[in-house]
A and B are shown apart, each in its own frame.
Chain A
Amino acid sequence: MQETQAVFFDGKTAGRIPVTVSLGPDRLALFITGDGLPEPLRWPLGELRGLHSDGAKHQVILTLRQEGDDELARHTARLVLEDTVAKEWLLTTRPDLFRKDVPKGTMKKIAKFTGMAVGATVLMLFVILPAMANTLAAIIPIEREVAFGKTVVAQIARVFGGVGIDELTCQGEEGQIALQVMVDRLTENQDMTYTISSRVFDHPMVNAFAAPGGQVVVMKGLIDSADSPDEVAAVLAHEIGHVESRDATRNALRSSGSAGLLTMLIGDFTGGAVMAILGEQLLSASYTREAEGQADEFALEMLQNANVSADGMARFFELLDETYGESALPAYLSTHPVTLERAQRARDFAETQSATSPVISDSQWQSLKQICD
Chain B
Amino acid sequence: MTSPLTGSASGDLNVNYNGTKKEMFGLAFKTGMLTIVTFGIYRFWQKTRLRRYIWSRANVGGDTFEYTGTGLEKLLGFLVAIVFLAVYLGIIQMVLFFFGMNIMVDPENASPAQVIGQILAIYISFFAVLPFLLFAVYRARRYKLARTRWRGIRFAMEKGAWGYVWRAIGHGLLTLVTLGIMLPRQTYYLEKYMTDRSHFGSAKFEQTGEWKKLYPAMKHIAIGLVILVGAVAAGVSGSGALAGILGFVGYVWLIIGSIYYSVHSFKYLTNNKTLEDVRFNADPSTGTVISKAILGAIIITAIMAAAALIFGLVMGLFGAFAQEGGSPVILIFIGLVGYLTLLVLAQALSLVFITQPILAHYIDTLTVLNPDGLNMIHQREADSNLDADGFADALDIGGAI
Give the residue of B7, B76, B97, B104 whose beta carbon is less than 8 angstroms from that of A256. B97
Is A287 positioned at the interface, with any CB of B under 8 Å from its CB?
A: no
What residue in chain B is nearest A143 (Cβ atoms)? Answer: B106
The reply to whether B66 and A51 form a contact with Cβ atoms under 8 Å apart is yes
* B residues 28-81 touching A (CB-CB < 8 Å): 32, 35-36, 39-40, 43, 46, 49-50, 52-53, 56-57, 63-64, 66, 68-70, 72-73, 75-76, 78-80
The reply to whether A82 and B57 form a contact with Cβ atoms under 8 Å apart is no
Scoring A residues 121 to 137 as 1 if CB is less than 8 Å from chain B, else 0, what string do you get? 10011001100110010
What residue in chain A is nearest B1 (Cβ atoms)? Answer: A58
Is B384 positioned at the interface, with any CB of A under 8 Å from its CB?
A: yes
Distance in angstroms between the alpha carbons of A120 and B379 in the assembled complex: 40
Give the residue of B19, B76, B94, B107 whose beta carbon is less than 8 angstroms from that of A150. B107
Is A192 positioned at the interface, with any CB of B under 8 Å from its CB?
A: no
Give the residue of A77, A110, A128 whose beta carbon is less than 8 angstroms from that of B152. A77
Residues of A within 8 A of B23 (CB): 55-56
The reply to whether B382 and A327 form a contact with Cβ atoms under 8 Å apart is no
Is A257 positioned at the interface, with any CB of B under 8 Å from its CB?
A: yes
Is B293 positioned at the interface, with any CB of A under 8 Å from its CB?
A: no
The reply to whether A267 and B396 form a contact with Cβ atoms under 8 Å apart is yes
Residues of B within 8 A of A268 (CB): 43, 393, 396-399
The reply to whether B94 and A82 form a contact with Cβ atoms under 8 Å apart is no
Distance in angstroms between the alpha carbons of A14 and B346 in the assembled complex: 40
With contacts A5-B5, A120-B83, A151-B107 taken as known, whether A270 is within 8 angstroms of B343 at the C-beta atoms is: yes
Of the 9-residue stretches B85-93, B211-219, B282-290, which lies at the interface with chain A? B85-93
With contacts A110-B72, A253-B94 taken as known, whether A117 is within 8 angstroms of B53 at the C-beta atoms is: no
* A residues 50-97 touching B (CB-CB < 8 Å): 51-56, 59, 61, 69-72, 76-78, 80, 82
Of the 9-residue stretches B259-267, B313-321, B369-377, which lies at the interface with chain A? B369-377
Give the residue of A71, A82, A106, A140 whose beta carbon is less than 8 angstroms from that of B98. A140
Is B256 positioned at the interface, with any CB of A under 8 Å from its CB?
A: no
The reply to whether A257 and B94 form a contact with Cβ atoms under 8 Å apart is yes
Is A272 positioned at the interface, with any CB of B under 8 Å from its CB?
A: yes
Residues of A within 8 A of B68 (CB): 71-72
What residue in chain A is nearest B78 (Cβ atoms)? Answer: A267
How many A-B residue pairs have C-beta atoms within 8 angstroms? Tell me: 239
Give the residue among A141, A258, A267, A272 with the most B Cβ atoms within 10 A.
A267
The reply to whether B26 and A124 form a contact with Cβ atoms under 8 Å apart is no
**CB of B51, distance to nearest CB on chain A (Å):** 9
* A residues 1-37 touching B (CB-CB < 8 Å): 5-7, 9-16, 18
Number of interface residues of A (CB under 8 A): 79
Is A147 positioned at the interface, with any CB of B under 8 Å from its CB?
A: yes
Residues of B within 8 A of A140 (CB): 98, 101-102
Distance in angstroms between the alpha carbons of A129 and B228 in the assembled complex: 47
The reply to whether A55 and B46 form a contact with Cβ atoms under 8 Å apart is no
Residues of A within 8 A of B86 (CB): 117, 120-121, 124, 261, 264-265
The reply to whether A18 and B5 form a contact with Cβ atoms under 8 Å apart is yes
Residues of A within 8 A of B98 (CB): 136, 140, 253
The reply to whether B94 and A54 form a contact with Cβ atoms under 8 Å apart is no
Give the residue of A11, A59, A114 whose beta carbon is less than 8 angstroms from that of B79. A114
What residue in chain B is nearest A263 (Cβ atoms)? Answer: B396
What residue in chain A is nearest B69 (Cβ atoms)? Answer: A71
With contacts A151-B104, A264-B396, A268-B399 taken as known, whether A14 is within 8 angstroms of B201 at the C-beta atoms is: yes
Give the residue of B49, B90, B106, B344 whose beta carbon is less than 8 angstroms from that of A54. B49
**CB of A192, distance to nearest CB on chain B (Å):** 21
**CB of A53, distance to nearest CB on chain B (Å):** 4
The reply to whether A82 and B7 form a contact with Cβ atoms under 8 Å apart is no
Residues of B within 8 A of A15 (CB): 151, 374-376
Is B150 positioned at the interface, with any CB of A under 8 Å from its CB?
A: yes
Give the residue of B70, B75, B91, B346 whose beta carbon is less than 8 angstroms from that of A132. B91
Residues of A within 8 A of B43 (CB): 267-269
Is A105 positioned at the interface, with any CB of B under 8 Å from its CB?
A: no
Distance in angstroms between the alpha carbons of A52 and B83 in the assembled complex: 31
Is B153 positioned at the interface, with any CB of A under 8 Å from its CB?
A: yes
**CB of B153, distance to nearest CB on chain A (Å):** 5
What residue in chain B is nearest A326 (Cβ atoms)? Answer: B328
The reply to whether A10 and B340 form a contact with Cβ atoms under 8 Å apart is no
**CB of B379, distance to nearest CB on chain A (Å):** 5
Is B111 positioned at the interface, with any CB of A under 8 Å from its CB?
A: no
What residue in chain A is nearest B5 (Cβ atoms)? Answer: A5
Is A113 positioned at the interface, with any CB of B under 8 Å from its CB?
A: yes
Residues of A within 8 A of B381 (CB): 69
What residue in chain B is nearest A15 (Cβ atoms)? Answer: B375
**CB of B96, distance to nearest CB on chain A (Å):** 8
Distance in angstroms between the alpha carbons of A147 and B117 in the assembled complex: 14
* B residues 344-383 touching A (CB-CB < 8 Å): 344, 346-347, 374-379, 381-382
A to B CB contacts below 8 Å, 26 in the list: A9-B151, A9-B152, A11-B153, A14-B201, A15-B151, A53-B52, A54-B49, A55-B24, A70-B382, A71-B68, A117-B80, A129-B94, A140-B102, A141-B102, A147-B105, A253-B94, A256-B93, A260-B90, A260-B93, A261-B86, A266-B40, A269-B40, A269-B43, A270-B343, A275-B39, A275-B40
Q: What are the 7 tightest A-B residue pairs by CB atom distance, in nearest-first order?
A: A53-B56, A9-B152, A256-B97, A257-B94, A268-B396, A269-B43, A117-B79
Partner-A contacts on B (CB < 8 A) = 3-5, 7, 19, 23-24, 26-27, 32, 35-36, 39-40, 43, 46, 49-50, 52-53, 56-57, 63-64, 66, 68-70, 72-73, 75-76, 78-80, 82-83, 85-87, 89-91, 93-94, 97-98, 101-108, 147, 150-153, 200-201, 327-329, 336, 339-340, 343-344, 346-347, 374-379, 381-382, 384, 393-400
